[in-house]
Amino acid sequence: MPKSTGRFWVPDWLIDDSLQPLGSELKTFLVIARFANKDGICWPSVSSIAECVGMNEKTIRKHLRLLLKHELIAIVEGRTGGRGRPTKYRLKPRGEGKAA
């Protein structure tokens, strides 16, 4: 788990525009966001996300596919993960993709 200050900032657009298609996938998104650096880039493993969310890895993979479909996250070009190599993700800011 990334170091936490005990607080977490959530962008308004996520609450206003994106909750409709998401259910438990939102918790997965929020965990990914906690791992992100100031540029919105992170590379948590599926097992790390699963542990934080409290769900199994198969469910997390399903959530990741949905978050990609709704364009809330993107895979950073050139990093598709693989065994022992986590995928690198970028959170999509408002104005990009369907989250706008």
Per-residue pLDDT 10s for the chain (100 aa) are: 555 555 656 666 666 665 555 678 889 998 998 899 888 899 999 999 999 999 999 999 999 999 998 888 999 865 555 666 778 999 886 555 444 3
What was the pLDDT predicted at 90?
A: 92
Q: Which H or E element spans position 17?
A: helix 12-17
What was the pLDDT predicted at 31?
A: 92
Three-state SS at 99: helix
Distance of CA 87 to the CA centre of its chain: 11
Q: Domains, the chain, ranges and CATH?
A: 12-99 (1.10.10.10)
What was the pLDDT predicted at 64?
A: 94
Q: Output phi, psi for 89, to 5 deg.
A: -115, 155
What was the pLDDT predicted at 10?
A: 66
What was the pLDDT predicted at 97?
A: 46
What was the pLDDT predicted at 32?
A: 92
What was the pLDDT predicted at 23?
A: 78
DSSP notation for 19-73: TTT-STHHHHHHHHHHH--TTSEE---HHHHHHHHTS-HHHHHHHHHHHHHTTSE
